[in-house]
Amino acid sequence: MTKTYRVSAPRRAANALMSSLSRFGLAGRHVYVLTVVGRKSGKAYSCPVTLIEGEERWLVSPYGEVAWVRNARAAGEVQLTRKGHAERLQIEEVSAELAAPILQRYIATIPIVRPYFDVTPSSPITEFIAEAPRHPVFRLSTNA
């Protein structure tokens, strides 16, 4: 049984701390502050995220279809900030087949999110394909 993500007072405090640390590059090499514009309010909302980075950059929603996911889909872009540098990036949500190896790498790298998944890092890729619709994965690219 997977855990359901809830934004509790301790979670808000942890997010605020991680956001502050990542703005200065102190929260970890792949941790950024994600900022998205609210699709209804037009206000900017921010939260810390951990990217999967290599030849390409990937944004994963370990907690499912949360508010930032819906806002990012509507906007088609996000802003990432780290070490005082902000960049606006296009997002492209990828298929379950493309998302599966990214999700596998994500939970292998970031153990704290494992309770929100019904797979383990050693699960076969077919199980990650089945899991992918519950955890949106976006390919990031620079604005052209």
At 47, the amino acid letter reads C
* Domains with residue ranges and CATH for the chain: 9-142 (2.30.110.10)
Which residues of 1-144 form beta strands (DSSP E)? 31-37, 44-53, 57-60, 77-82, 85-93, 137-142
Average pLDDT over residues 56-72: 95
pTM given for the model = 0.84
Kindly report, residue by residue over 72-114, the tens digit of the pLDDT: 999 999 999 988 899 999 999 999 999 999 999 999 999 999 9
Answer whether residue 34 shows pLDDT above 60: yes
